[in-house]
Amino acid sequence: MKITRKGQVTIPAYIRDRLGLRPESEVDFVMEDDRVYIVKKKDSKKSKRFRKFRGVASVKMSTDEIMALTRRK
C-alpha cells in the first residue's frame, strides 16, 4: 500500500467492512513503538441521539410556510 503525496492511504474494503467504517466514520491513530493502529472512534452520545432523525422530514409544509414561521415575532 502506498501513501499519496497528500499523506492519504486507502483502507481495504475487507477492513472497512469488518470495522463497520462507512463514509463520514471517524478513526483514531494509535502509535505503539514503531507500529500504527487505526481504530474506529466511539460515537458520541449526541451523535447517537440524533442519528435516527438524519434525513427525516415529516412536516408537510412548503418552504415559504416554514420561512414565514421562522420570521414571526
Residue pLDDT, tens place only, 32-73: 999 999 888 876 555 666 677 677 677 788 888 888 888 866
* Domain annotation covers residue 45: yes
Q: Which residues contact 24 (CB under 8 A, 6 or more apart)?
A: none
SS3 letters across 37-69: EEEECCCCHHHHHHHCCCCCCCCCCCHHHHHHH
Domain extent, residue 58, equals: 13-71
Q: Is residue 18 part of a domain?
A: yes
Work out how many domains the chain is built from and give that number: 1
pLDDT at 56: 66
pLDDT at 41: 84
In a domain, 58, yes or no: yes
For β-strands 35-40 and 27-32, DSSP reports them as antiparallel
Burial label, 32 (beta-carbon count in 10 A; 0-12, 13-18, 19+): exposed
pLDDT in tens, 13-28: 999 999 888 888 889 9
Confidence of residue 3 (pLDDT cuts 50, 70, 90): very high
pLDDT for residue 45:
57
